[in-house]
Amino acid sequence: MKNTPFTDKHLVLGARMAEFAGYNMPISYTGINDEHMSVRKNAGVFDVSHMGEFILKGKKALDLIQRVTTNDAAKLIPGQAQYSCLPNEEGGIVDDLLVYCIEENNVYMLVVNASNIEKDWNWIKKHDTHNVEMHNISDKTCLLAIQGPNATRILQPLTDMDILNLKYYTFGKGKFAGVDNVLVSATGYTGAGGVEIYFENKDNAADIIWDAIFKVGTPQGLKPVGLGARDTLRLEMGYCLYGNDIDDTTSPLEAGLGWITKFNKEFTSKEFFARQKEEGLPRKLVGFEMIEKGIPRHGYEIKDFSGDSIGVVTSGTQSPSLRKAIGMGYVRTAYSNMGMDIYIKVRDKLLQAKVSKIPFS
């Protein structure tokens, strides 16, 4: 099991640790609900250094990205990022990812899920017919997500970059807490605002940046937050988690990701998705909230009033913000309309739920 450069910090803070994607990661410090609400109302710091980062360079870098991703990376200019996915050859999803344009038509950074680093690297390499220069910088890259409505205000004194006015899905690069070449991105996985910061852990940079963040942040209520609250925060927003809500068997269209599936270019499984769009989807990923008391969990069956199986739960929790049980799951398209009654099989009982909009409210 791997550690991140911040593992000792988590242990000193008394974090409850567990294995996640091969890393020893903090699940919670003071409790998931407390950490969740800290991010929604103020700000929190996540160590997400387990994520993977690839650099693609050269004249053919963009061509390769265009072939292996569904979104249109040609629209990106330096300082912009976009959400995308890597489709497989059967119409499923290899992984979802972020694409950062560092230098237009020349240098890009791809940020992938920790559990898929090797899988994604091999997949992209497999489709590289022009020997694009690729570097896997995952092991030497630190990534902290400082999320919440007050995150940028707390962090602004640590940098000359104007992070207070950083637009969504844009980024800057400069000095942060005295450390050079720090990339600060207005992205995140919580829907609460804030930034993610990428930097190389050299010359004790990890300790310097972590300590500086908490020196300015602790008096303002900034807290460390674990992966437990990261999951409840993303679920309230209806953000997909790879391995739960999307995987090698789910298409981006089924998952509600048609907005990152652009048909103005050639990419893997384009014809499959075009046919799926034309013929209609057999199933859709929907959000739902429980009407009867019970917590939906990954893998629970979704049924209709008669008890016939119509789908499966992919994610579910008791929402700390909304104080009700919510979930997402795939259902047959006929049962995907807003407000429709569905039933979740919890143990031996069928508990009533209804299809609801996401983000949840």
Residues 134-146: what's their mean pLDDT? 98
**Per-residue model confidence as pLDDT tens digits over 279-308:** 999 999 999 999 999 999 999 999 999 999
Phi then psi for residue 121, to 5 deg, are: -60, -50
Q: Which residues is 328 bridged to in the sheet?
A: 287, 315
Locus of tokens 């593992």: 7
3-state class of 95 per DSSP?
strand
Helix axes 117-126, 61-68, angle to 10 degrees: 110
HSE, CB side, 13 Å, CA atoms: give it for residue 30.
12
Residues 140-152: what's their mean pLDDT? 98
Query: How far is the C-alpha of 224 from the C-alpha of 32, rounded, in Å?
Result: 11
Q: Are 239 and 191 in contact (CB under 8 A)?
A: yes
How far, rounded to the nearest angstrom, does the alpha carbon of residue 98 sit from its chain's CA centroid?
A: 9
Checking DSSP bridges between strand 44-47 and strand 223-225, what pairing results, if any?
Answer: parallel
Residues 318-324: what's their mean pLDDT? 97
The fraction of the chain above a pLDDT of 70, given in percent, is 100
Identify the CA nearest to 13 among candidates 2, 33, 27. 27
**Per-residue model confidence as pLDDT tens digits over 196-234:** 999 999 999 999 999 999 999 999 999 999 999 999 999
Q: Which residues is 327 bridged to in the sheet?
A: 288, 316
Task: Please give the pLDDT value at position 282.
Answer: 96
Task: Give, as one character, the DSSP assignment of residue 15.
Answer: P
pTM for the structure as a whole: 0.96
Task: Give, as one character, the DSSP assignment of residue 75.
Answer: G
Tokens, residue 127? 């489709």
**Per-residue model confidence as pLDDT tens digits over 155-171:** 999 999 999 999 999 99
**Per-residue model confidence as pLDDT tens digits over 224-241:** 999 999 999 999 999 999
How far, rounded to the nearest angstrom, does the alpha carbon of residue 73 sit from its chain's CA centroid?
A: 18
Query: How far is the C-alpha of 310 from the C-alpha of 152, rounded, in Å?
Result: 44
Task: Please give the pLDDT value at position 107.
Answer: 98
Query: How far is the C-alpha of 52 from the C-alpha of 100, rounded, in Å?
Result: 13
Taking residue 268's Cβ as centre, other Cβ atoms within 10 Å add up to 20
Q: Are 24 and 47 in contact (CB under 8 A)?
A: no
- For the chain, what is the mean pLDDT? 98
Query: How far is the C-alpha of 172 from the C-alpha of 6, rounded, in Å?
Result: 23
**Per-residue model confidence as pLDDT tens digits over 41-95:** 999 999 999 999 999 999 999 999 999 999 999 999 999 999 999 999 999 999 9
Task: Please give the pLDDT value at position 29.
Answer: 98
Phi then psi for residue 140, to 5 deg, are: -105, 5
Query: How far is the C-alpha of 195 from the C-alpha of 164, rounded, in Å?
Result: 10
Residues 27-40: what's their mean pLDDT? 98
Q: What is the largest CA-CA distance in the chain?
A: 64
Identify the CA nearest to 280 among candidates 253, 303, 260. 253
Tokens, residue 41? 């109302």
Q: Are 250 and 85 in contact (CB under 8 A)?
A: no
Residues contacting residue 328 through CB under 8 Å, at least 6 positions apart = 235, 238, 240, 245, 285, 286, 287, 288, 313, 314, 315, 316, 358
Q: Kindly tell me the burial class for residue 189, based on how many C-beta atoms sit within 10 Å of its own C-beta (0-12, 13-18, 19 or more).
A: middle
3-state class of 3 per DSSP?
coil
Report, in angstroms and rounded to the nearest whole number, the Rg of the chain calculated over CA atoms.
Answer: 21
Q: What type of residue is 330?
A: Y
Task: Please give the pLDDT value at position 64.
Answer: 98
Helix axes 227-237, 32-41, angle to 10 degrees: 60
- Kind plus residue range of the DSSP H or E element containing 327: strand 324-332
